[in-house]
Amino acid sequence: MRRLVSLTLITLLAITSAAVAADNDHLTCYRAKDAGKFVASVTLDIPDGSLAVPGDCKLLGKAIYYCTQTSTTVQDFQVDRAAGLLDDVAGSPAGARVCYKVKCPVAIISPFAVSDMFGSRTVSPAKVQLVCTPALAGQPPRSCASSCSGHGVCKTGECFCMPGWSGADCAVADQCANDCSGNGLCMFGQCMCQKGWEGDDCSVTQPAGCLNACNGHGVCSGGNCFCSQGYTGADCAGAQACPANCNDHGICMHGRCFCQPGRSGDDCSTVLDCSATACSGHGACTRTGDCHCDAGYTGTDCSVSTQCPGTPTACSGNGECKFGKCYCDSGYSGTDCKSATGCSGDCSGAGVCMHGTCFCNPGLTGDDCSQPITCPNDCSGHGTCSSGTCFCDPGYDGADCSHLT
């Protein structure tokens, strides 16, 4: 399942390095909107002996932060209790992280000292709130099953098998009938019978009368050699060439062309459909002529982008990207959801504008808060109207105070 995550930069920085200019060992974290949702039970094992091990926790699988490694330069640093930045606290490149909320058993942790590039101080950890997992931007690279078993080439997650092999992982050798009865060699699913044998499975004794017994490369019938594919001549002694030498787009084996992906035909001269378009440069063309599109593209020729406009993230962090189109959050508009929408008539000065919607003061309604909320029949003259509700005078009842009690 593909998970859609939109990001908004926040001022959260996980600092593990020192010196004025660090080398990708800081983390810059974005507040994330995650379309996925799951719940997982996890066990946390913390090697730091100064912290209590929280044990079994429940991870709420909806990412709230996405963090990426950052180099940080400190332009100004003023603090009374420190002489300057520490230069002996360094870390490794931080990589990328996705952070989730967790609920763990409460543990009592004593205050302890900690140091970072901004100095040393004492901290008092409370409860565990987040777990951040290693992450990879984009889709993981697609690999092939068993690396095509060494009998094929892997492209965009699909195996293209060498001649003589088949299956999703190219692990299945093409079989011959009865394994050629022990009287021949199985090649590409066809028996090449030894001298003196013939038949689909090389089980039939070859009668005399054919020149050189067809050299083991054909079937003798009525004194004539019927040569196997790839051989020619009265005695099947000549190796048959491939038509047009496969036009340099395939391999010639026993007179037969085994074409490169994207080519077909006896001489590999036919260009499959997707090869003509080269999948628009955004995918790979398979033997069947279909395009396997790269991440972010779709369509029969991979020409349709599923990526959305917006900076620094898709839909400017103010909407959800679906099939290349932004669906903006309330209060935002535009193809990239970058424009904040105002409220009609500025809510007539009688309400609060939030994300393009007026929240009216009591007693008012409408898109612009310009319409007073009225009561039915104006309470029939026997009550007080407040926010659309009649508060009846003594002796009267009903939604419009028209009934005597």
User: 372 or 270, which is more confident?
Assistant: 372
**Domain range summary for the chain, segments of one domain joined by +:** 5-134, 145-237, 241-267, 272-305, 342-372
pLDDT in tens, 198-254: 888 888 876 666 777 788 888 776 677 878 777 788 888 877 788 888 888 777 877
pLDDT in tens, 124-156: 888 888 888 988 777 776 788 888 888 887 877
Which residues are within 8 A (CB) of 70 and not within 5 positions of it... i.e. 6 or more apart?
A: 13, 22, 24, 26, 27, 28, 94
Q: Which CATH class is domain 272-305?
A: mainly beta
Are the C-beta atoms of residues 331 and 357 closer than 8 Å to each other?
Answer: yes
Q: Which CATH class is domain 342-372?
A: mainly beta
**Half-sphere exposure of residue 398: CA atoms within 13 angstroms, side-chain side:** 15
pLDDT score of 248: 82
- C-alpha dist (Å) from residue 142 to 139, 155, 161, 262, 368: 8, 9, 17, 20, 53
Q: Report the C-alpha gap between 33 and 7 in whole angstroms.
A: 6
pLDDT score of 61: 80
Q: Report the C-alpha gap between 25 and 11 in whole angstroms.
A: 17
**pLDDT winner (highest mean) among 179-188, 300-309, 343-352:** 343-352
**pLDDT winner (highest mean) among 51-55, 138-142, 341-345:** 341-345
pTM for the complete prediction? Answer: 0.35
Q: How confident is the model at residue 18 (pLDDT cuts 50, 70, 90)?
A: very low
